[in-house]
Chain A
Amino acid sequence: MSDIRHSLLRRDALSAAKEVLYHLDIYFSSQLQNTAVPIVDKGTIELVEEFIFHVPKDRSVQPKRMNCVQELQLLEIMCSYFQEQSKDAVRQIIFSALFSPQGNKADDNRMAMLGKLVSMAVAVCRVPILECAASWLQRSHAVYCVRLAKVLVDDYCSLVPGSVQTLQQIFSASPRFCCQFITAVTALYDLSSEDLIPPFDLLEMVVTWIFDDPRLTLITFLNTPISANLPLGCLDLTPLLGLVRWCVKSPLAYKKNLKPSLSNGHTGKLPREAVECEGADRDSQPLYSKLHLSVLQVLMMLQVHLTEKNLFGRLGLLLFEHVAQLVEELGRLVDELNPLNATKEIELSLDRLAQALQVAMAAGALLCGRDDLRSLCSRLPHNNLLQLVMSGPVQQPPHSPYQPGFYPHIHTPPLGYPPRPAAVAHPTISAHAPLPTHTAHPAHNTHPSHPSQTFLPGMTFPYRPIR
Chain B
Amino acid sequence: MSAQGDCEFLVKRARELVTEDPWAAKAWLITARTLYPADFNIQYEMYTIERNAERTASAGRLLYDMFVNFPEQPAVWREITVITAALRSDCQDKHAQFLRGLFETLPGRVQCEMLLKATEQCFNTLEKAEMLLLLLRRFPESVVQHGVSLGETLLEAESIEDLESPVNCFRKLFVCDVLPLIINNHDMRLPASLLYKYMHKAAEFYISYVTRGPSADGQLQGSQEGVSLKSPGAPRGSQRYIIEGLTEKSSVVLEPWERLLDILAIVGARCEWQGDKGSRSYVEILQRMKELCRYLPSLEGETLSCCRSQVVTCTTLVLFHSAYLYVSAVQPTLFQAHSSPGAVPWILLEDLSSVFSEADLERSSSKHVHKKRKLGEGREKTMSSDDEDGSGKGRGRHILVSKTDMPGWADMLDSFRTARESWDLLHSHEALETEFNRICSSWKTDSWLWLRIFLTDMIIYQGQYRKALSSLHQLASFQPPQQVQVSSQGSLEHHRALIQLASCHYALGEYRLACEKVLEVVSGLVPQAQGPGRATEDVTRTRTKFRKGTDLRLLSCTSKAIMPFCLQLMLACFKLRAFTENRDDLALGHVIVLLQHDWPQGEALFLKAVDKICQQGSFQYENFFNYVTNIDMLEEFAYLRTTEGGKVQLELLPNQGMLIKNPSPALGLVSQEFNTLLLPGVQTADRHHTVTRGITKGVKEDFRLAMERQVSRCGENLLTVLHRFCINEKIILVQSLP
> A residues within 8 Å of B by Cβ?
286, 289-290, 292-293, 296-297, 300, 351-352, 354-355, 358-359, 361-363, 384-385, 388-389, 392-396, 399-402, 406-407, 409-419
> A289, A409, A412: which contacts B21 (Cβ < 8 A)?
A289
Query: Which residues does chain A contribute within 8 Å of B68, judged by CB atoms?
Result: 406
Judge whether B36 and A412 touch: CB under 8 Å: no
Q: Which 6 A-B pairs have the closest CB atoms?
A: A402-B37, A416-B58, A362-B34, A394-B3, A293-B23, A355-B31
Closest beta carbon of chain B to A284's beta carbon, Å: 13
Query: Which residues does chain B contribute within 8 Å of A416, judged by CB atoms?
Result: 26, 50, 55, 57-58
Judge whether A409 and B107 touch: CB under 8 Å: yes
Judge whether B27 and A293 touch: CB under 8 Å: yes
Q: A292-B27, A384-B9 are in contact. Are A389 and B38 (CB under 8 A)?
A: no
Residues of chain B from 1 to 52 with CB closer than 8 A to chain A in the complex: 1-3, 6, 9-10, 13, 21, 23-24, 26-28, 30-31, 34-38, 50
Judge whether B107 and A411 touch: CB under 8 Å: yes
How many angstroms from the CA of A412 to the CA of B50 in the assembled complex? 15
18 A-B residue pairs with CB within 8 Å: A289-B27, A292-B23, A293-B23, A293-B26, A296-B27, A300-B30, A352-B27, A355-B28, A355-B30, A358-B34, A388-B35, A407-B61, A410-B60, A410-B110, A412-B61, A413-B57, A414-B58, A419-B57
How many angstroms from the CA of A392 to the CA of B2 in the assembled complex? 11
Size range of the chain B interface in the assembly: 35 or more
Judge whether B24 and A415 touch: CB under 8 Å: no
How many angstroms from the CA of A400 to the CA of B68 in the assembled complex? 11
> A394, A410, A419: which contacts B1 (Cβ < 8 A)?
A394
How many angstroms from the CA of A399 to the CA of B72 in the assembled complex? 15
Query: Which residues does chain B contribute within 8 Å of A413, judged by CB atoms?
Result: 57
Q: A359-B34, A394-B2 are in contact. List 14 more A-B contacts (CB 8 A).
A: A289-B21, A292-B24, A352-B27, A354-B31, A355-B28, A355-B30, A355-B31, A385-B31, A395-B3, A407-B61, A410-B110, A411-B107, A414-B58, A418-B57
B64 near A: Cβ within 8 Å?
yes
Judge whether B30 and A297 touch: CB under 8 Å: yes
How many angstroms from the CA of A331 to the CA of B430 in the assembled complex? 103
- A247 and chain B: residue at smallest CB distance: B27
Query: Which residues does chain B contribute within 8 Å of A389, judged by CB atoms?
Result: 31, 35
Q: A384-B9, A416-B57 are in contact. Are A358 and B31 (CB under 8 A)?
A: yes
- B1 and chain A: residue at smallest CB distance: A394
Closest beta carbon of chain A to B131's beta carbon, Å: 22
Judge whether A388 and B65 touch: CB under 8 Å: no
Query: Which residues does chain A contribute within 8 Å of B106, judged by CB atoms?
Result: 410
How many angstroms from the CA of A418 to the CA of B21 in the assembled complex? 20
Judge whether B61 and A414 touch: CB under 8 Å: yes
> B3, B24, B107, B110: which contacts A289 (Cβ < 8 A)?
B24
How many angstroms from the CA of A60 to the CA of B30 in the assembled complex? 67
Query: Which residues does chain A contribute within 8 Å of B107, judged by CB atoms?
Result: 409-411
Query: Which residues does chain B contribute within 8 Å of A401, judged by CB atoms?
Result: 38
> B2, B6, B57: which contacts A412 (Cβ < 8 A)?
B57
Judge whether A407 and B65 touch: CB under 8 Å: yes
> B35, B55, B105: which contacts A358 (Cβ < 8 A)?
B35
Judge whether A290 and B23 touch: CB under 8 Å: yes
> A292, A296, A359, A396: which contacts B38 (Cβ < 8 A)?
A396
How many angstroms from the CA of A356 to the CA of B58 in the assembled complex? 21
Query: Which residues does chain B contribute within 8 Å of A286, judged by CB atoms?
Result: 21, 23
Judge whether A296 and B31 touch: CB under 8 Å: yes
- A412 and chain B: residue at smallest CB distance: B57
How many angstroms from the CA of A399 to the CA of B28 in the assembled complex? 24
Query: Which residues does chain A contribute within 8 Å of B64, judged by CB atoms?
Result: 407, 410
How many angstroms from the CA of A296 to the CA of B6 in the assembled complex? 20
Query: Which residues does chain B contribute within 8 Å of A410, judged by CB atoms?
Result: 60-61, 64, 105-107, 110
Query: Which residues does chain A contribute within 8 Å of B36, judged by CB atoms?
Result: 393, 396
Query: Which residues does chain B contribute within 8 Å of A392, judged by CB atoms?
Result: 35
Residues of chain B from 62 to 87 with CB closer than 8 A to chain A in the complex: 64-65, 68-69
Query: Which residues does chain B contribute within 8 Å of A354, judged by CB atoms?
Result: 31
Query: Which residues does chain A contribute within 8 Å of B697, judged by CB atoms?
Result: none
- B65 and chain A: residue at smallest CB distance: A407
Judge whether B3 and A393 touch: CB under 8 Å: yes
- A409 and chain B: residue at smallest CB distance: B107
Query: Which residues does chain B contribute within 8 Å of A388, judged by CB atoms?
Result: 1, 6, 9, 35
Query: Which residues does chain B contribute within 8 Å of A355, judged by CB atoms?
Result: 27-28, 30-31
Closest beta carbon of chain B to A188's beta carbon, Å: 25
Q: Of A359, A396, A410, which is in contact with the most chain B CB atoms at under 10 Å from its CB? A: A410
Judge whether B69 and A412 touch: CB under 8 Å: no
- A399 and chain B: residue at smallest CB distance: B38
Query: Which residues does chain A contribute within 8 Å of B65, judged by CB atoms?
Result: 407
Query: Which residues does chain B contribute within 8 Å of A414, judged by CB atoms?
Result: 58, 61
Closest beta carbon of chain B to A270's beta carbon, Å: 25
How many angstroms from the CA of A364 to the CA of B2 in the assembled complex? 25
B189 near A: Cβ within 8 Å?
no
Judge whether B58 and A417 touch: CB under 8 Å: yes
Residues of chain B from 539 to 598 with CB closer than 8 A to chain A in the complex: none
How many angstroms from the CA of A402 to the CA of B13 in the assembled complex? 23
Closest beta carbon of chain B to A416's beta carbon, Å: 3
Judge whether A417 and B31 touch: CB under 8 Å: no
The interface bits of chain B over 524-537 (1 if a CB of A lies within 8 angstroms of the residue's CB, else 0) are 00000000000000
B370 near A: Cβ within 8 Å?
no
How many angstroms from the CA of A396 to the CA of B7 in the assembled complex? 12
Judge whether A402 and B38 touch: CB under 8 Å: yes
How many angstroms from the CA of A296 to the CA of B33 in the assembled complex? 12
Query: Which residues does chain A contribute within 8 Å of B367, judged by CB atoms?
Result: none
- A413 and chain B: residue at smallest CB distance: B57
B109 near A: Cβ within 8 Å?
yes
Judge whether A400 and B38 touch: CB under 8 Å: yes
Judge whether B61 and A415 touch: CB under 8 Å: yes
How many angstroms from the CA of A362 to the CA of B33 in the assembled complex? 10
> B6, B31, B37, B110: which contacts A394 (Cβ < 8 A)?
B6
- A387 and chain B: residue at smallest CB distance: B1
Query: Which residues does chain B contribute within 8 Å of A292, judged by CB atoms?
Result: 23-24, 27
How many angstroms from the CA of A396 to the CA of B36 in the assembled complex? 9
- A397 and chain B: residue at smallest CB distance: B38
How many angstroms from the CA of A158 to the CA of B423 in the assembled complex? 91
Judge whether B35 and A417 touch: CB under 8 Å: no
Query: Which residues does chain B contribute within 8 Å of A407, judged by CB atoms?
Result: 61, 64-65
Query: Which residues does chain A contribute within 8 Å of B6, judged by CB atoms?
Result: 388, 393-394
Closest beta carbon of chain B to A388's beta carbon, Å: 6
> A351, A393, A415: which contacts B30 (Cβ < 8 A)?
A415
Query: Which residues does chain B contribute within 8 Å of A415, judged by CB atoms?
Result: 30, 58, 61
Closest beta carbon of chain B to A398's beta carbon, Å: 9
Query: Which residues does chain A contribute within 8 Å of B21, judged by CB atoms?
Result: 286, 289
How many angstroms from the CA of A320 to the CA of B337 in the assembled complex? 77
Judge whether B69 and A400 touch: CB under 8 Å: yes
How many angstroms from the CA of A363 to the CA of B37 in the assembled complex? 13
Query: Which residues does chain A contribute within 8 Å of B37, judged by CB atoms?
Result: 400, 402
Closest beta carbon of chain A to B8's beta carbon, Å: 12
How many angstroms from the CA of A407 to the CA of B67 in the assembled complex? 12
Q: A289-B24, A407-B61, A414-B61 are in contact. Are A296 and B30 (CB under 8 A)?
A: yes
Closest beta carbon of chain B to A212's beta carbon, Å: 14
- B36 and chain A: residue at smallest CB distance: A393
Query: Which residues does chain A contribute within 8 Å of B69, judged by CB atoms?
Result: 400, 406
Query: Which residues does chain A contribute within 8 Å of B58, judged by CB atoms?
Result: 414-417
The interface bits of chain B over 103-115 (1 if a CB of A lies within 8 angstroms of the residue's CB, else 0) are 0011101100000
- B108 and chain A: residue at smallest CB distance: A409
Query: Which residues does chain B contribute within 8 Å of A361, judged by CB atoms?
Result: 34
Closest beta carbon of chain B to A357's beta carbon, Å: 9
How many angstroms from the CA of A406 to the CA of B61 in the assembled complex? 12
- A296 and chain B: residue at smallest CB distance: B30
- A403 and chain B: residue at smallest CB distance: B37
> B13, B24, B57, B60: which contacts A293 (Cβ < 8 A)?
B24
How many angstroms from the CA of A289 to the CA of B23 in the assembled complex? 6
Query: Which residues does chain B contribute within 8 Å of A409, judged by CB atoms?
Result: 107, 109
- A291 and chain B: residue at smallest CB distance: B23
Closest beta carbon of chain B to A395's beta carbon, Å: 8
